[in-house]
Structure 1
Amino acid sequence: MEKLAINGGNPIRDTYLAYGKQSVNEDDIKAVVEVLKGDYLTTGPYIKEFEDAVAKYVGAKYAVAVSSGTAALHMACAAAGIESGDEVIVSSMTFAASANAVLYCGGTPVFADIDPLTYNIDPAKMEEKITSRTKAIIPVDFTGQSVDMDEIKRIADKHHLIIIEDAAHALGSEYKGRKVGSQADMVEFSFHPVKPITTAEGGVITTNNKALYEKMMTFRTHGITKARERLTENHGPWYHEQQSLGYNYRLTDIQSALGTSQMSKIDSFISKRREIVKLYNEAFKSVSEIITPYEADFSNSGWHIYVIKVNPELLTVTRKEIFQALQAENIGVNVHYLPVYWHPYYKELGYEKGICPNAETLYENMITLPLFPSMTKEDTEDVIGAVKKVINYYRK
């Protein structure tokens, strides 16, 4: 049996392979340099160009770009009118920002368990959590797989709830043949470097609702707007006024130019991700010690991340030892995510373990493998080889 690197053997790779990485080329660099040579660095014409590119791609009427995906979620919750006393149902398997955005507005996150197959929020479990105080739902397209939006919309309409879809993983993904981004009241995308495209940091909300769009446009600029109806009251064209409490959540023209350039390559990025996933699925289908991702018939994932689930009953060690052994082979595995309510801050708010058992079981056995567009065939083979090497060593 081949000796593991963690035990002094030779690693599969000489260099470390990260789990995710941005794909930036000369076109992207040129686009950023053009902005640096121009008149605007912060809020200028490139923001609208980027917003239009995203809205057109996902089939939405409007898009509002902001400084991060977290800012986008906060903005959406504010536009939805979330305030003290309101409850918002959130998927338990997500990054903390999905729930933090509710807290920023004074609301209370209520965590619903996930479907054990898709790892997305279970609509039935979600409906069980609805009370007279529930105002909105934040379903998460975990790993890039779309939630069952028709069923979620049916439940939301029945209870008169707003849907804020957290699609941070899902730019380029599809639901029943349509791009994710126009089915919910508001849809959030993230542009962190490991996401489908990047603006370094950044986020956007897409919507078909003009009233929500106008609220968000003001929210991202301190709540300040040009009040044209006041211009006759001894004010000139310089006049702006703060009409609500907003934030400085603006995206820069520099980032927007990068984002627009990246959008021109989004389909090729998604295609490459899907190719790698096919190779992973084929290579691991006969490895009974791990469970590969399930994809529902209604979803065509863009595969932001690829999560395997180890079967501890067939192994001599836990997920921790598997993870450490893969790291020693220079494979940059990760874990996404700790159930939100397990974080110490949420424990202090009164949340306890056990409320979402499917999410907790997934967390205890999941490992994220490297996946990004610039991965080579050799990179992919290294990941596959390392997983098989480690699993073979620890097989019962």
Structure 2
Amino acid sequence: MSSDPAAVDPRDSAAPATLATILRGAMHLAFAVLLSLGALRAHTVEQVPLPLALGLAALVAAIYGTGTALARRRRDPAAVGTTDLLLPSRGWVIALLAAWVAATLISSAFVWLAFPLFFLVLFSLGALAGPLVLLAVALWAVLAPLAVGAQDTLGIGEVLGPLVGAVFSLVAHTVWRRLLEESERNRRLVARLRATQADLAAAERRKGVAEERQRLAQDLHDTLAQGLNSIVLMSRSAAAAHPEAQGDFSRIEDTARANLADARGLVRDLASRAPQDGLEEVLRIVVERADGLGAPTRFELRTDGEAQRPAPELVETMQRAAQSLLANVVQHAEAERCVLTLAWWPDRVTLDVVDDGTGFDPAAVRPGRSGGDGLALLRSRIARAGGTVAIDSRPGEGTTVALTLPLVTGEDAARNPLTSEDA
């Protein structure tokens, strides 16, 4: 079988990793420069004592540096690179904001730290709290000079500067998140393509093994088995023609007959032995791969009835159908859970795929839209195998797809006249 499709190829994450590194470096540099300028301006312009200005800067820098260092130490090496900005917890951001507000109460020169704080707030506090705290930080950056009595009035630049910076930060954060989402979608697509290529290669290998077994069975039957059968027949004739040597010819016949039985056993084994995994194992691998794509959906495989050894063609048909259905669930369903139930019956095998996603109107699906081509190909594949497809879905109520195929076992497919005792 192929390797895990969820494994991230370094080539897939190179660009996002570079962007994350650049953004981290830019935030660190901006924070250090603006903090240093704030301390310098607090002492030179607002006449804050130098020890106090440096102490405030050192406090803010210590909180910032400690949190960043802890975040780097706690990171998962396997996950860093594509999306991780190595930002600490929300508590760290709140502590940093508190230290910044305290610094601005001493000197309004520190308000310019708001610009890197905009990004930290958005990236650390989430989609809901982030913009709200961003607005609060921007308003404080505007009003701090008035609150501490550093100024009596505000110029247009002092009002627009923080507000424009906040808007720019919000836009940049939104673009960054969209880039990450697109990168993740592309990664999943590449993973699925690689898994499909590996599956095709494995199928070709299994097909080659099966063909080689059949060829060996044919060669054994046409050469060794036929030759031993001829020895048995000739030894019988010779024993009848030469009664005085009947004991010798009987031993020859017995030996040839025993070897013929062994040869026929080899032919039977080669002709009937299935070189590929059973249907349940194949579906389990399909489910594991779907789980490994990083989608929020939890996949589960259940079985019912006594498992059979189906023909390779049936296994491959079910495998392709399951892959297609799970791909639709990942791409379109937005489901929290998807359950596959494989059931064995005396004359058929069924696979039910049930998800609790958004659902859709099957009658409204058209080829080329929302997976319409995939469903049409699925129906065609199952129909060629003599089976049926039933789809039950409504918008907002999830989807159930029921596949039914006639049960053709490996024994049925392996029956071959080469294994007959009369050959």
Interval containing the TM-score (normalised by the shorter chain)? under 0.3
Q: TM-score, structure 2 length as denominator?
A: 0.20
Larger radius of gyration: 2
Higher normalized helix content (fraction of residues): 2
More strand as a share of residues: 1
